[in-house]
A and B are shown apart, each in its own frame.
Chain A
Amino acid sequence: MEYINQIKLEMRSKSENEAFARSVAAAFTSQFDPTVEELTDIKTAISEAISNAIIHGYQDKVDGIIKMEIAATASGRIVIIVEDKGVGIEDIDKAREPLFTTGNSEERSGMGFTVMESFMDKVIVESTPGEGTRVTLIKVLDQTNGF
C-alpha cells in the first residue's frame, strides 16, 4: 500500500489525550473529503483504541507512551495504527467478543472492539503479553461524492 500522506505522533497515556487523538484524526482525514458519518466513525474507533491502551494496556498509569500513526492511500483508504507498550492481551479472540471486559464490569461496557469493528472496514489486533498491543484500523472512504 503506497501512502500519499502520513502522520505519526506519540502521546502520554492520559485520558485527556483521547479527545486530542480524535481531533488529530479528524483534521487529517478532512483532507480527503470524508462524509460526516465517515468522520464520526473514524473518531469513534480511534477513541476506543486509545481508551483501550490507557485503561487496559497501561492499567490507568499515566506515564505510558501511545503511538498513533495515520496514513491515506490515493484510493481513499485511511489506515490508523494505535500502539502501546503495555501489558498486552492474553486472549485476543476473547477480548474481541462483545461484552467481554477485564475492568470494573459495572461501569465498563466491554464493547470497545465491537464498536471498532462495526464502524471500520477492517480491524487487526496484534498483541504479545508483557510487550504491548498494536491495533490497525482501516476505513475505505466512499469517494463517489468527493473530488
Chain B
Amino acid sequence: MGITFEMIDDILIAVLSGELDHHSSLEIREEIDHTFDAFQANNLILSFEKVTFMDSAGVGVIMGRYNKVRSKNGKLVLSGCSEYIDRILDMAGIYTIAKGYPSTKEAIKALRREKGE
C-alpha cells in the first residue's frame, strides 16, 4: 500500500493506493497521524480513488482518524470510494461520521463551503 500527501490551506489530503488490509493499515495510520500533526492540519480528506482492495481494516482506519481529526475540531471527509468500498463503509455506518464525495476536488469544495458558513 502506498500513500502520498498534499496540503491545501488547513486540509491534509491523504491519497491511498493499493490494498488496504489489517497489515497495511498498521503503517498507514501512523503515517497519516504523523503527517497530520507535522503539518498542523485541521481537516483531513482520505482519497480512496486508487485503492484496489479494502476489508474492514479500512473501516478501523477511518474510525481512528475520525477521532484524531475531531480532537482538533476538524472534519474528516472521504473521496473516490468505489461501489465495492461504499458497500463496506455503508454496512459499518461510516457515512454517519464522515461524508463521501465522488472526487477529491468536490471534497475540498465541500470543506471550504462549510468553513465559509
A residues with CB within 8 A of B: 15-16, 18-19, 22, 37, 40, 43-44, 47-48, 51, 54-55, 98-99, 106-109, 111-112, 114-115, 118
- CA separation between A19 and B64, bound complex, in Å? 22
B residues with CB within 8 A of A: 19, 21-23, 26, 29, 53-57, 59-61, 63-64, 67, 84, 87-88, 91-92
Which of the residues B23, B59, B84, B87 comes within 8 Å of A19, measured between beta carbons? B23
Q: Are A111 and B64 in touch, CB under 8 angstroms?
A: no
Q: Which among A16, A51, A54 has the greatest number of chain B C-beta atoms within 10 A?
A: A51
Contact flag A51-B63 (CB < 8 Å), given A43-B53, A107-B29: no
Number of A-B contacts (CB under 8 A): 68
Which of the residues A44, A48, A111 comes within 8 Å of B92, measured between beta carbons? A111
Q: Interface majority SS on A: helix, strand, loop or mixed?
A: helix
Write 22 A-B pairs (CB below 8 A) sorted by A numbering. Answer: A18-B23, A19-B19, A19-B23, A22-B19, A22-B21, A22-B53, A37-B84, A44-B54, A47-B55, A51-B22, A51-B55, A98-B92, A107-B29, A107-B61, A109-B63, A109-B92, A111-B59, A111-B88, A114-B91, A115-B91, A118-B87, A118-B91
